[in-house]
């Protein structure tokens, strides 16, 4: 009782005072049945291929291809975590605007992957550049490295397109 005789209201329940997480994607294995889930799976598989192909070319241009490796490995790990959070159902337990986080994540990765694609294409286009390797002048990329870099460029483009499609779907979900 307070000084005036009126009862003091109980403190608010903190679990009730927070809004529920906002997410319009399904949680659990049902996410794999959506376009967004399919694109994230494609991003993981194709991004892993980019990572493997660039690494198998022995990275003849470390300044350019080092960034491609960084972006592909980081995006691969983050996409695995992103999918894991939805598959495990953690999104329902964390109070966040998951639609906005989805949009921000896919925008960021799309921009970085587009840059990585351009750098990989530039590295591949330099295959006929002649370098002085102590005594003998030879091409920068041998035939095998060139073929691997062409494949890496194609997969980097397709992966970038997948991130672009995910970005478009995330934008549709995020808009009110």
Residue 68 included in any domain: yes
* Nearest of 70, 175, 174, 152 to residue 112 by alpha carbon: 70
Q: What are residue 97's DSSP bridge partners?
A: 22
In a domain, 169, yes or no: yes
- CB-based contacts of 80-84 (< 8 A; 24+ apart in sequence): 80/44, 82/40, 83/31, 83/37, 83/40, 83/41, 83/44
Is 11 a member of any domain?
A: no
Residue 23 located in a structural domain: no
Give a yes or no: residue 21 inside a domain. no
pLDDT averaged over the chain? 84
- Element spanning 132, H or E: strand 130-133
Distance CA 3, CA 24 (A): 49
Whether pLDDT at 23 is above 90 = no
Q: pLDDT tens across 161-173, in order?
A: 999 999 999 999 8
Query: For residue 113, which of 42, 47, 54 has the smallest C-alpha distance?
Result: 47
pLDDT at 6 > cutoff 80: no
Provide the β-strand partners of residue 130. 139
> Residue 147 pLDDT more than 90?
no
First to last CA, the chain: 45
Residue 24 located in a structural domain: no
Residue 67 and residue 111 in contact, taking contact as beta carbons nearer than 8 Å = no
Range of the domain at 151: 29-126+144-174
Q: Per-residue pLDDT tens for 60-117?
A: 777 778 899 999 999 999 999 999 999 998 888 888 888 899 999 999 999 999 999 9
Domain count, the chain: 1
Task: For residue 61, tell me if it sits in a domain.
Answer: yes
**Which class for 104: exposed (0-12), middle (13-18), buried (19 or more C-beta within 10 A)?**
middle
> Domain for residue 163, yes or no?
yes
């Amino acid at each position: 009782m307070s000084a005036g005789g009126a009862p003091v209201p109980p403190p608010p329940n903190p679990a009730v005072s927070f809004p529920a997480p906002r997410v319009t994607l399904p949680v659990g294995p049902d996410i794999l049945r959506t376009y967004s889930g399919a694109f994230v799976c494609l991003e993981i598989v194709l991004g892993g291929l980019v990572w493997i192909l660039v690494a198998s070319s022995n990275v003849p241009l470390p300044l350019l291809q080092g960034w491609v490796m960084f972006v592909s490995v980081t995006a691969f790990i983050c996409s695995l975590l992103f999918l894991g959070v939805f598959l495990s159902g953690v999104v329902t337990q964390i109070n966040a605007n998951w639609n906005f986080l989805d949009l921000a994540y896919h925008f960021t990765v799309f921009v970085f992957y587009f840059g990585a694609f351009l750098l990989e294409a530039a590295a591949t286009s330099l295959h006929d550049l002649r370098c002085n390797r102590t005594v003998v002048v030879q091409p920068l990329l041998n035939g095998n490295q060139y073929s691997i870099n062409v494949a890496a460029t194609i997969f980097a483009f397709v992966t970038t397109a997948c991130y672009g499609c995910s970005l478009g779907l995330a934008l549709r979900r995020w808009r009110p």
